[in-house]
Amino acid sequence: MRILGIDPGLQTTGFGVIDAQGHTLQYVASGTITTTHLARGDLPARLKVLFDGIAEVRARYEPDCAAVEIVFVNVNPQSTLLLGQARGACLTALVACNLSVAEYTALQMKQAVAGSGKAAKAQVQAMVKRLLQLPREPGKDASDALGIAITHAHAGAAMARLQAAGELAKRSTGTYRGGRVV
């Protein structure tokens, strides 16, 4: 399964593409989509760059699914709103490309990749390098995007097993509703 990971940002959005076969992960590509060449006040143009960039990455690498980092709340509400809009442009681009999208928090990604939800960026970069057997550490935005893809490779497989087990349980015991089997 080919997974596209996205670390959304209004100035710089990271992307990372990996192939996952069971527990084996293989690096495909990573990079960033930047809007710094546009005027800071031209929000619509910046969102269009993100939308078009995601669509281009999707067309080039043909992922089977995508995973996006969930936005955290900043101290500055305006920054949070702008980041949310960038994230919305990324999600819309993925859905417009008919990709299923999973979402993970930075804490979940750090836990899955580095073993601690409080891992520093440098620790995440080092573990992404190690897990994907890269010759050097990717940039911080690309590293976070690859981390999100790795998280989905692990969590997605576990969730599929849980869903399959739940379907098996429903067939054998009836439908589960509100704490009881009907």
Annotated active-site residue in 7, 19, 42, 137: 7
Q: Where are the beta strands (DSSP E) in the chain?
A: 2-7, 12-21, 24-34, 65-69, 100-104, 176-177, 180-181
| Token pair recorded at residue 96 | 């417009």
Residues 6+ apart with CB under 8 A from 104: 67, 68, 69, 70, 112, 148, 151, 152, 155
Annotated active-site residue in 42, 56, 141, 167: 141
CA distance 38 to 5: 24
φ, ψ of residue 16 in degrees (nearest 5): -145, 135
What's the half-sphere exposure (Cβ side, CA atoms, 13 Å) at 1?
19
Residue the block writes with tokens 């010759």: 135
Annotated active-site residue in 19, 69, 103, 167: 69
Q: Check if 141 is active-site.
A: yes
Show which residues are catalytic. 7, 69, 141
